Chains A and B, each alone.
Chain A
Amino acid sequence: MLTITLSIFIPFLAAIFIPFLYKRIGRHIGWFVIIVPIALFILLASFIPSIANGETYEHTIRWIDSAGIHFTTYLDGLSLIFGLLITGVGSLVILYSIFYLSERESLGRFYVYLLLFMGAMLGVVFSDNLMVLYVFWELTSISSFLLIAFWYHRKKSRYGAQKSMLITVSGGIAMLAGFLMLQFLTGSFSVREIIATIGQYTDEPLFLFAMLLVLLGAFTKSAQFPFHIWLPDAMEAPTPVSAYLHSATMVKAGIYLVARFTPIFGTEMSWLYIVSGGGIFTLFWGSFNAVKQTDLKALLAYSTISQLGLIMSLIGLGSAALNQGADANSILYAQATFAALFHLVNHSTFKGALFMVVGIVDHELGTRDIRRLGGLMAFMPVTFTIALIGSFSMAGLPPFNGFLSKEMFFDALVNARNFDLFDASTIGILFLVVAWIASVFTFVYSMIIVFQTFFGELHIEKLEKQSTREASIGMLIAPSILAVLVVGIFFFPNIIGNYLLRPAMNAVYPTLAGAEGLAPKIYAWHGFESVALWMTVGVVVVGTILYKTLRYWKGIYTVAPMKWSLDSVYNALLETLENGSSFLTRFYMRGYLKDYLVYIFSFFIVSVGAAILLTGSYSFDFSNNAPISLNEYLIVFAMIVAAISILLVKSRKTAMILNGVLGYSIAFLFVVFRAPDLALTQAVVETVTTALFLLAFYFLPEWKKEDSPIRTKVFNGLIAISVGTIVTVLALTVQGNKMFESISSYFEDSYNLAGGKNIVNTILGDFRAFDTMLEVVVLFIAGIGVYTLIKLKVQKEGRDYED
């Protein structure tokens, strides 16, 4: 269906038009932007009935045929949930940002980035082709980077943007490698084709690597331990961005990926261990650290990390349904994934509302530090109500939707103790205990949000904006809608269960699709014998006690010093990398010509020398040598003496004359070798060169004795001798191994071919005249160069051209 493909492109198209509209329209540009997500939401919502009936939609635009990369979109239950979240929360966030951001901000830029992000995110969830998925995946990283650094004049914004970029893009690259491995295994980039055929490849060694790399991408994006550190720093973004990207959509891209790839990797035991283990630990770590935060947004960031860990661990546990075979329990195990998807929806509602509440507090009072806040309930009743609903839902209390998914979470963990692979009495219990402790911490920080912000005494003098009034109605609309949803889902959970979660479950478990009980009915009341109920009661009791005694045990957060935190590890790592690379570069890029020449010659010695030695290709054959007469010996001997003397002489004039000796001797040798033209040219050129050298000496200082230490001289000498030896060996080897006859006999017909009797000249002027032409050009350019260099000196007196 083309509609789905179009829905990806509409935000991008809208983003193109924004800059044009922004300058011309007097009204807030957000009113025009908001049309896009609302229209898309309605469009996607119209698919709900048919998707619930088990239909799926697919559309392909051929893109790069030769590489098997096509723009294929695929709409099923799983992508529909995400599509609705992206467009639904997107509409509310834009509505909120219209009132949140003032007209003085560069709004055009803001909405362009936001629409880019929305389009990219829709692309991620609707793409069936791995490469297209990757393109959109990176586009979400980039647009998130741009949005975090929206206030780019702030140092912390830039730091947070850089950090999130580095971490998510590193994960993205790993994921790309994993995708390529999958393609290598199965020969297809299409997710559905891979799901269909992956069964035959699970024993391949690449399979495990592909799994780990894809997971790395998902874990970095979804802020799982230890890659969660970018998320709290991303809170420097404007609050609508935090609400949208960093609670409801982008951080769930990793969750989407894990859910989407469960049919591919879920049969693997290690997948279950890594995803659920990583998730459970992230759940604990995030909730534990959230309690100590004093900034409300940072608290919500850690709470997001923790909730994402919860969802991740549930999806991991849900994969047990695939690797436990098709016994009666597998449907039961799949309930974990059902809980995960349900909590995913719930989390988007209450976390979006909470972020908006914090934004309102920040916007009205100028601070979000809980040590300065208190007693806001009196004049912010609506905000307080929303915060209460959101926090209690997050804590898992009735009558809010968080209660339902928290119960299902505990149920799933209780079920997990029956796994064949877990030793029921150890790991299963451990998971349960860790999750329960994490829930207690979740309860504590949820209470902190409500009670420390809205109860207690108002210290108006501590606030930056000393106003006591409720936020504008417009700003309250979006969080109110979310709060209504939070309550609404609690009372009518099965609407979501039937229409959204059931088709999504079929997408995650294609083998179990349509099975009875795959998507159970959601009940708020499980009876007194339910373990989950008593666990929740325990959470509330212990959580209340812990909250009341918070100031007595808060000291445990200062036990571990700051330098042990993962942030300092990250900073130290970056610093070490920078220092290390700069040290390495300084070590060899020293700026001395001599050093670089040493590298070049050493490389020559090592590569050519080793090649000759290792391949044993040196072989000498002296049989074809021409005879040597006495005067030739004399010439060569004179040259050797002259050459060596150049190194030893004290005066540069002597050296020059010795160079002349070399040049003229070569001219003599050319005579001996029957090359009259060469002898002529050599003699003339040598004369001019010597004259040039002498001319240069008139302007240059007398050369000083080389006063470098003896060790350097020996080293240079060794390099020089090695290079010379290798050249000689090469020359001798080549001469002894002529592979075919020279082509010069052709040129010997030059009189007939070119009308000339001097073969060398016909080659230069007729057969290979291109060489000659360009050689003339070289001479010409050198002449211009010489002229310019000398002329430039005259002009230089007045101005300095180097600046």
Chain B
Amino acid sequence: MSSAAIETVFGSLDNYTKGSVEIISGQASHYAFSNIFEVADKSLPYEKVVVGFNLGYVVESIRAEGQSPWYTAAHDEFAIVMDGEVRVDFLKLDAPLKAGEGTHLAGEIPAGTPMGYVLLKRGHQCLLPVGTAYRFEASRPGVILQQTIKGPLSVEKWADICFK
């Protein structure tokens, strides 16, 4: 038996290999196939590019680079760091967002109490709790996967990112 070590292959901005759609019948576009590292590689910092859409719910691929604005939402959201290292700072908002869906800007300096911060590496998942504002910070480019609802900051550009 080979003694080669087990290697679990993860992707990164610098190293990903996109798969393929071989069509027998129908259209490749119906599978809306993209690669989150390729999307983040071609995005502006903290551009929230929708890579998955299901009746209002979204999955976004976000390029983490430098400091993001403060964000908030009227519901829980989740972030998974897929590449790099990301610090997330949290504020307990004095006046939390009560209605609406998706991620909203929380303003330049939101009124609230600092709750602390979380340091995330690749594969780490973080709750972005309702009632808080949060801000991402990355000293080198990374990739965040965000689970949320389509909001005013969500960017859809399917024709640019998907197999056709």
Chains A and B come from one and the same complex? no
Q: Residues of A with Cβ closer than 8 Å to B? A: none
Q: Which residues of B contact A (CB under 8 A)?
A: none
